[in-house]
């Protein structure tokens, strides 16, 4: 079966597929940009659509992108064509809204010189099992990799999904991402992006409306990662049903009302996938944090929080109409069981401590002593209490630092007024 899907004019497709990958098309500079390769526009579009087919498990289907009568057209062979005919149209329509908002922000001087408009291209679009609400994609996934899921955050979270029963190598179907800011930017630009990200409400809901429904089975669950996304949720129609976590932050579990959808979507807040790595670096390098056991214990506590969230995601994806609170309770019961202590410690070792730079002059120990793990995961112990306070202190420091003018102004040369 052959299905032709018109994507639009060359001008529209260049914008929505961020072509070429290293050219800023929102805020023009005097500097002339050149493509990083001889990749043509149709090649770029085909690259991303083939990525979606692969992640949607349409392994026997093909797509070819052509110019036909002045338009860019995707020609699908196989069952995927019918599946993509609606979702791809709606995805690009949401992209139009996001692009127009970006132009509007640039005209108001709110677009930085090193930002790139970037939609979540190449992700599973029809056979995914959950949706991840995040802040923004790092610039290297566009300019270097041209793969949205090459970010270190998605790799890290994929490992936690596997620890909760997701099939190894198949975690992409869980990681269909909606960023509240469709902007590829340097990884440390989160604070600069926050006021801009809050402007994309229409786009966010258009994309959620497109990607949440799963045939007649209900709505896919959402995991909302990081503080900036939690701030966005504060202004939405989000009905809180339960919470988890302790000390530094309490994560909410509940139902999000998405306009134009009859049902409410199950949603769970979680740490940003990279937060544990940021925390590790912060406590390692800060001379005020001297107790090694507390540093290691704080990583163990954060890892358990993340595993609870990943467990919820896998459980809800398996049964879309499950009660989100019951799924959270089951996830907490699983990872608060003493039988899981060693597994949590092993994940901290493999995913955090073993990834410290080889030339680090003062790395943390690679192994977490069993006594530290045992006490860290028992909230009543003194070590657990001190480590929870450490997590709270680090979060406060990071927030305070991000709000300081000297931080916000870093690398400001070339920024818009």
Residue 175, class by beta-carbon neighbours within 10 Å (0-12 exposed, 13-18 middle, 19+ buried)? buried
Q: How far apart are CA 135 and CA 233, in angstroms?
A: 12
Cα-trace Rg, the chain: 22
Q: Is 362 helix (H, G, I), strand (E, B) or coil?
A: coil
Q: Which pLDDT score is estimated for 128?
A: 96
Cα separation, 219 vs 207, whole angstroms: 13
Partners of 244 in beta bridges: 251
Rounded to an integer, the average pLDDT of 42-55 is 96
Mean pLDDT check: name the lowest of 34-38, 122-126, 315-319, 352-356: 34-38
What is the per-residue pLDDT for 361? Answer: 81
* Paired residues of 66 in beta bridges: 73
Q: How is 234-257 classified by DSSP, letter by letter?
A: TTS-EEEEEEE--TT--EEEEEEE
Give the whole-angstrom CA distance, residue 184 versus residue 179. 10
pLDDT class of 178 with cuts at 50, 70, 90: very high
Q: Tell me, what's the pLDDT at 409?
A: 38
Q: What is the pLDDT of residues 24-36, one digit of tens each?
A: 556 543 334 444 4
The 10s digit of each residue's pLDDT in 389-414 is 999 999 888 877 766 644 443 333 22
Q: Give the global pTM.
A: 0.92
Distances (CA, A) of 166 to 46, 108, 154: 28, 44, 14
User: Three-state SS across 164-233?
Assistant: CCCCCCCHHHHCEEEECCCEEECCCCHHHHHHHHCCCHHHHHHHHHHHCECCCCCECCEEEECHHHHHHH
| Share of residues in the chain with pLDDT > 90 (%) | 77
Of 147, 142, 155, 145, nearest in space to 123 by CA: 147
The percentage of residues in the chain with a pLDDT greater than 70, rounded to a whole number, is 92
String of DSSP letters for 51-82:
HHHHHTT-TT-EEEEEEETTEEEEEEESTHHH
92-144: pLDDT as tens digits: 999 999 999 999 999 999 999 899 999 999 999 999 999 999 999 999 899 88
On average, the pLDDT of the chain sits at 90
Mean pLDDT check: name the lowest of 45-59, 249-263, 349-363: 349-363
Distance CA 19, CA 39 (A): 9
| Dihedral sign computed on CA atoms, order 233, 235, 238, 243 | positive
- At 104, give phi and psi (nearest 5°): -60, -45
CA proximity to 96, closest of 123, 122, 119, 112: 119
**Distance separating alpha carbons of residues 225 and 399, to the nearest angstrom:** 16
The whole-angstrom separation of Cα 14 and Cα 42 is: 9
Residues 239-266 have a mean pLDDT of 92
């Amino acid at each position: 079966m052959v299905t032709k899907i018109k994507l639009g004019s060359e001008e529209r497709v260049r914008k929505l597929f961020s072509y070429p990958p290293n050219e800023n098309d929102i805020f023009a500079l005097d500097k002339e940009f050149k493509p990083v390769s001889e990749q043509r526009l149709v090649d770029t579009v085909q690259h991303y659509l083939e990525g979606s087919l692969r992640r949607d498990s349409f392994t026997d289907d093909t797509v070819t992108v052509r110019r036909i009568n002045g338009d860019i057209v995707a020609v699908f062979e196989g069952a995927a064509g019918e599946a993509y005919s609606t979702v791809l149209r709606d995805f690009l329509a949401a992209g139009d809204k996001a692009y127009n908002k970006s132009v509007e922000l640039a005209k108001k001087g709110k677009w930085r010189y090193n930002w790139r408009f970037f939609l979540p291209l190449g992700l599973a679009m029809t056979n995914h099992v959950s949706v991840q609400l995040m802040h923004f994609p790092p610039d290297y996934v566009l300019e270097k990799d041209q793969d949205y899921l090459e970010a270190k955050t998605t790799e890290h979270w994929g490992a936690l999904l596997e620890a909760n029963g997701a099939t190894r190598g198949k975690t992409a179907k869980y990681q269909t991402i909606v960023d509240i800011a469709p902007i590829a930017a340097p990884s440390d630009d989160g604070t600069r992006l926050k006021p801009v990200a809050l402007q994309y409400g229409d786009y966010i809901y258009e994309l959620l409306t497109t990607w949440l429904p799963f045939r007649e089975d209900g709505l896919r669950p959402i995991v909302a990662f990081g503080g900036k996304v939690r701030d966005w949720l504060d202004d939405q129609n989000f009905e809180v049903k339960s919470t988890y976590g302790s000390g530094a932050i309490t994560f909410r579990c509940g139902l999000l009302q998405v306009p134009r959808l009859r049902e409410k979507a199950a949603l769970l807040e979680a740490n940003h996938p990279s937060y544990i790595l940021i925390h590790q670096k912060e406590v390692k390098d800060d001379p005020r944090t001297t107790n090694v056991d507390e540093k290691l214990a704080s990583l163990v506590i954060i890892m358990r929080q993340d595993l609870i969230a990943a467990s919820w995601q896998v459980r809800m994806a398996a049964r879309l109409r499950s009660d989100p609170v019951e799924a959270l309770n089951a996830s907490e019961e699983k990872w608060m069981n003493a039988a899981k202590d060693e597994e949590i410690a092993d994940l901290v070792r493999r995913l955090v401590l073993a990834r410290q730079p080889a030339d680090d002059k003062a790395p943390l120990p690679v192994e977490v002593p069993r006594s530290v793990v045992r006490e860290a995961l028992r909230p009543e112990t003194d070590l657990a209490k001190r480590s929870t306070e450490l997590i709270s202190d680090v979060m406060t420091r990071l927030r305070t630092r991000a709000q300081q003018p000297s931080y916000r102004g870093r690398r400001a040369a070339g920024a818009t007024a």
